[in-house]
Structure formats: structure tokens, C-alpha cells
Structure 1
Amino acid sequence: MLQDAYARRFTYLRLSLTESCNFRCDYCLPDGPDCTSRKEEINLDEIRRVVTAFALLGTRKVRLTGGEPCLRKDLVDVIRTVKAVPGIEEVAMTTNGYRLMKDLDKWVEAGLDAVNVSVDSLDPSTFHLVTGQNKLPEILEGIDRASQSSLKRVKVNTVLLKEHNGKELPEFLEYIRTRPVSLRFIELMQTGDNHAYYRRHHINGESIKETLLEQGWTQRLKSKTAGPAQEFVHPEFAGSMGLIMPYSKDFCADCNRLRVSSRGALFLCLFTENHISLRDLMQSDDPGPLMERIQESVQGKKVSHFLHDKQTGSTKNLSIIGG
């Protein structure tokens, strides 16, 4: 079992397939992506090898992220390859949803188990303001279709932004009243290039939590391979709520996830200064050396992300490693 010096066990790998994205969300890529980085993306064999090494170390869940993973032309092959690795029990993906209607059936057939779709507003004009795209109706249609498919879970991710969606909680709650999807409100995190934006838009998720509890929502326990969200349910709602609050007390205490970038670097934390290259060891089908480097690296994982101390690490924006 992959375990660090603080007895945290890592069963969840977030694997970035690309840094590129076709949306320009103003909290992530207001100036668009650096598309030159696509030349260095890990290939299918490298993906198989690194996932195999993690699986042998106890990883059971892999989430495919970006940037936008749907920009990979071999995405269906990636899903099928990852799902075929012995020991991997669940393959999930985070996407902006622009290909949901067209490609959902292909993804499910290849072995996709769950999908998270980013929707930062249910108002078309606000959605366009945040993302630079006028695709909200077809994305929502794709979510409805996904929720009716054989996927185990469908989640909607919303980054809380004070001046954009800060007052949309009633609309979002109404959205999940009849839909069996899990809504995730994510606190805006400070990165290397968004200091002014963070100060203007950050909302403390604790205020949302208080509102939910006052309205009869109850918190439930999460599974060992679940992400960092605090989860809430209500008997009158088909969907559920989740809050990801990286500034909350003991947020890092039960961390169960590691990240590998689209260039083959191991991120021990989203906000780390140092990344460990795995790429040279991803050229061989022998998983031993790769497992050894991962194990040794994890022993250097720090106890916290230190966001409270304004340490944002070397992550300039979240498209680099998928948030």
C-alpha cells in the first residue's frame, strides 16, 4: 500500500492528459492555453505503464483530467487502457462537457464509470462571462443524458465566484431537486497568477455549509476512494451536495490522492514547489523502478498544502494539473 510519513494512504490517482483547454474560464485560463505544451503529452503506452505501477501500489481509482481531456483524440483508447489495468476498479473523468452529447456512449463502452462536468453558472449569460463559451444548453442536456446512462455517478462542479455565481445557491439546489446528480461547490483557490482575482471573488464554503444545515441537509460519510468534498443529502432532493473547502481545518488530514501531469511529472500536492519526473521510467514495461520512485517520493509529501500561509507553490493555473 502506498503510504506517506503521516500514515495517509493513496488509492486515488488524478492523471492529466493535456494542459490545453478550449474554454477560457476567467479563474483558470483568461488568456487561453499555451498549446505548444501538447507536443510533450504522455502517450498511451506511458499511460498504461504509470497506471500499472500505481495499481500495484494500491491505487484503485483513476480520474482523467486536463486541461480538457476531450481534446485528446485517443481519449477512448485511454479510457479502455486504464480500465483494463489489473487492480483499477473505477475510471472517472472531469470535463467541461462540450463533447458529452457526442461521445458519452463511446466513453461508457470503453469503461468510463463516472463523470464530473464543470458548470459555473446556470444562467447562460453568466456562464458565457466566466467560460467565454455559449454552450450551456447543450452541456446541461449532456448532463441529463449522462445521469440516465449506466454511469455510476454524475457530478457537476461549480467554482464559487463572489461576483458571478455567489448568489445562485437557490437555483443550483432547485436544479438537483429532481436530478440524481451530485453538485460540488468548490472554493476558489489562490494560485501563482490569480492573487487579485482571488481577493475579489473568494467565498468561504463554510457559509454555504451553514445554509445547507439550516435547510435540513445532513452530512454523510464518504468512501475511502472519494475525493475531498464534504457531502450532504436531503430527503426531498434526488441529487446531493458537496463542498470542497481547501481552507477548512484539517483539509489535508485524509488526503488520498496523487497527481501525474500530462508531461509525466508526479505532483505530491496541487500546490507543491517541486515535481518529480517519472517519464524516464515510463519507457519500460518493468514497473519495479517506477514503483520504487513513486514510493520514495511519497515519503517527502508534506503534512499540508500551506495555502493558509499564502504558499501557492509553482502551479500557475489549474489547467496544468486539473485542479
Structure 2
Amino acid sequence: MQPQSLSPSTLATQHKDRRAIACHMALLDALMRPLLDLRISVTDRCNFRCRYCMPREHFGSEHVFLEKTEILSYEEITKVASAMLPLGLRKLRITGGEPLVRKDLSNLIEMLRSLDSNLDIALTTNGILLAKHAQKLKDSGLNRVTISLDALDTEVFQHMGDTAHRPDEVVEGIDAALKAGLGVKINTVVQRNVNENQLGKIALMAHKRHIIPRFIEFMDVGT
């Protein structure tokens, strides 16, 4: 006997839990795997000019960033996430640019959390502003953060990020996130003859804090 095909309305009646609905309505990729993650960039602006990401020669003072009216509002982002939930959304990634340069980001986290208490909400950040916002983000419903940290030596850090900020500011953000109860991972972009001598230091710092470092090989694709 073939399984009965149920309409979305019938499913909604029989299954209050969105997860039950999602198994019948999930978005699938070309290999028929369910698409469970949604990544949303909340800004194209950043307070770094990492040479492998937003190099200053392309994103300098004359670069034209998106106008506020061209960026989705928090209400619009929440509507997108809400529409994806019945289709199987399980994980939501907030990215940028640097998402923490956008004002009142914790308000967005709170709005997204109100959609589903089981939604896994994560934030990718360079960590510079995290110490200031970690507790409020956690209180608003954020689950975890992924923090970019390419070096612990100030000279190497400032060279790679083309910034006057210091690595200890990022470490302060890491510690604030841990104190707030957020899950923490570290991403390190590895460039030959630039920061490979930093990997052991970063691994040791992460080990002492019982967090996971991830080392990502730099691929020059002509940024």
C-alpha cells in the first residue's frame, strides 16, 4: 500500500509540531537532502579590512555600502525565517559584514527566538564588540557564536585584519561569551608565511577554555 499523501492543511491539523510538518514539506537540494540551515547577512559593513575578505583597496573610504533602505529590516528578516520554519529550518546563522555593527542586534535575536524555542541561532563575528554585547545576546536567545581570530600576536593580527584593534580585545569577547553561557567556536584563516606560527598559540588558548578551534586554509580566489 502506498503511503497517503497529505496536504499541508491536513498536516497542520494532525501535527502541531513544525518538525512533523517539515518532514513532508522540506526544501531539498539536488541530492534530495533537506536544507535545514539559513544564513542571513544583516549588514555589508565591517570594522575590519581583512586582506583576504574586505581589502582596503576595494573597500576604502570611497566604497559605497548599501543604504539603510536597501537592507532587510528586522521585521522582514523575521518574516523570512518564519516562512522557512515549516519547510524544515533548524539552524539560523547571523552574519555580515560584521553583524554587531548593526544597531540593536539583540532585538533581532529576540524576535527570531520568539518564532521557535528549539531554533539553533548562531552569530559569526570578529569578536571586537562581543564583550559589550555577549550577555544581552544570550539573554535575547542566542545559542552560540563563531569568532574569527587569525593571530594572538598584535603585529600579525593587525596586519591580517588591516586594523588598529588588538587580539586581546577578541579574547576578551571570547571570555565574555563563555561567561554569558554561549557556545563558542574559533575560526582561523591560515596563510603561509603570514600566520602559520600563530596556530599553536591559538590552539593552546582555545584548549585552556575548552572551546573548538577550526583552521581554514586560505584560498586565493582574487578577492
Q: Quick one: distance in 2 between partners of 1:126 and 1:3? A: 42
Structure 2 counterpart SS, 1:157: strand
Matched, 1:47 2:77: yes
Superposition TM-score, scaled by structure 2 size:
0.80
Give the structure with higher Rg (CA): 2
Letter paired with 1:121: A
Q: Quick one: distance in 2 between partners of 1:44 and 1:88? A: 20
1:108 maps to 138
Deviations 1:229-262 (A, max 9, x none): xxxxxxxxxxxxxxxxxxxxxxxxxxxxxxxxxx
Structure 2 counterpart SS, 1:85: coil
2:126 maps to 96
1:4 maps to 29
Superposition TM-score, scaled by structure 1 size:
0.56
Structure 2 counterpart SS, 1:176: helix
Give the drift of 1:88: 5.1
Q: For 1:225-240, list aligned pairs within 5 A.
A: none
Identity of aligned residues (%): 38
Structure 1 counterpart SS, 2:155: helix
Structure 1 counterpart SS, 2:145: strand
Matched, 1:171 2:182: no
Matched, 1:120 2:145: no
Matched, 1:37 2:66: yes
What is the alpha-carbon root mean square deviation over aligned residues? 1.7
Matched, 1:62 2:92: yes
Which 5+ residue runs of structure 2 have no aligned equivalent?
1-25
Aligned residues: 192
Deviations 1:178-206 (A, max 9, x none): 11211111122344x33xxxxxxxxxxxx
Give the drift of 1:98: 1.3
Matched, 1:24 2:49: yes
2:175 maps to 144
1:186 maps to 216
Larger relative contact order (CA 8 Å, sep ≥ 6): 1
2:112 maps to 82
Q: Which has the higher helix share?
A: 2
Q: Quick one: distance in 2 between partners of 1:4 and 1:95? A: 28
Which 5+ residue runs of structure 1 have no aligned equivalent?
195-323
Letter paired with 1:79: I
Structure 2 counterpart SS, 1:177: helix
Q: Is the 8 A contact 2:135 2:177 kept in 1?
A: no
